[in-house]
Amino acid sequence: MSFDREQVLRDAAALLSRRATASMDEIARAAGISRATLHRHFPGRDSLVRALGALGIQQVEERLDAARIEDGDPVDAVRRLIAEAIPVSGFLGFLYGENQLYDLPETEVGWARIDARVSALFRRGQEQGLFRYDLTPAWLGEALYALIAASGWSVQEGRLAPRDSEHMVAELLLGGMLRRTS
């Protein structure tokens, strides 16, 4: 049987996003491999979390590229980004909540690249008069990440249907929660 590193990492992230204190034994079981195999590829939890962080940055950058966030109308670009991110929202939820990752220089560099691209999208929307000026691009990015992560957690917990995630994230981020009366 071949070892699918990315699938093992996805399985690990899915478990850890639900149970942050899961043991390496539990992670191995969730991935359908032996503990020995897991330890051969990831000698400890720190090694596993580092690999998850690297994969996460890679996946987010791939999603940004696929969404073509530098192209076209900023509102449409935000919607494309949400559509691209929702399928991996559970994994992104794990990454968003994993404090250990924020202390790693390689993770900081990767997230800085991501943040710069997302902030540029929101800034472009502000410059075109489409997005509110009283909210910084950095804050809008954080709100986007938090809503995507929350949708992943909500789907995992059965509080949100997967097919509703994209709509709910986009509508709350772009429209806010105040009801329009006119």
Q: What is the pLDDT of residue 63?
A: 95
61-102 pLDDT, tens digit per residue, is 999 999 999 999 999 999 999 999 998 888 788 777 776 666
Asked whether residue 4 is domain-assigned, the answer is no
In the block, tokens 């938090």 appear at 146
Closest CA to 92 of 114, 109, 77, 76: 114
End-to-end Cα, the chain, rounded Å: 61
Q: What is the CA angle 154-14-112, rounded to 5?
A: 85
Q: What is the pLDDT of residue 153?
A: 85
100-121 pLDDT, tens digit per residue, is 666 778 788 998 999 999 999 9
For residues 97 and 52, the model is more confident at 52
- The CATH number linked to 167 is 1.10.357.10
Asked whether residue 101 is domain-assigned, the answer is yes
Asked whether residue 97 is domain-assigned, the answer is yes
Asked whether residue 34 is domain-assigned, the answer is no
Burial degree of 13 (CB within 10 A; 0-12, 13-18, 19+): buried
State yes or no: pLDDT of 28 exceeds 90: yes
Q: What are the percentages of helix, strand and coil residues in the chain, rounded to 5?
A: 75, 0, 25
C-beta of residue 132 within 8 angstroms of C-beta of residue 138:
no
Q: What is the pLDDT of residue 99?
A: 66
Read off the tokens for 162.
């997967």
Confidence of residue 182 (pLDDT cuts 50, 70, 90): low
Q: What is the pTM of this model?
A: 0.86
Q: What is the pLDDT of residue 92?
A: 81
Asked whether residue 1 is domain-assigned, the answer is no
Provide the 10 A C-beta neighbour count for residue 149. 22
Domain that holds residue 91: 45-175
Asked whether residue 56 is domain-assigned, the answer is yes
Q: What is the pLDDT of residue 120?
A: 98
Q: What is the mean pLDDT of residues 19-32?
A: 91
Confidence of residue 55 (pLDDT cuts 50, 70, 90): confident
140-180 pLDDT, tens digit per residue, is 999 999 999 999 889 888 999 999 999 999 999 999 876 66
Residue by residue, DSSP assigns 52-95 as HHHHHHHHHHHHHHHHTTTSS-HHHHHHHHHHHHGGGHHHHHHH
Asked whether residue 35 is domain-assigned, the answer is no
Asked whether residue 158 is domain-assigned, the answer is yes
In the block, tokens 């992230």 appear at 13
Domain count, the chain: 1
Q: What is the pLDDT of residue 69?
A: 97
Q: Tally the residues of the chain.
A: 182
Closest CA to 94 of 21, 159, 3: 21
Q: What is the pLDDT of residue 66?
A: 98
Q: What is the pLDDT of residue 157?
A: 85
Rounded to the nearest 10°, the torsion over CA 157, 161, 167, 168 is: -40
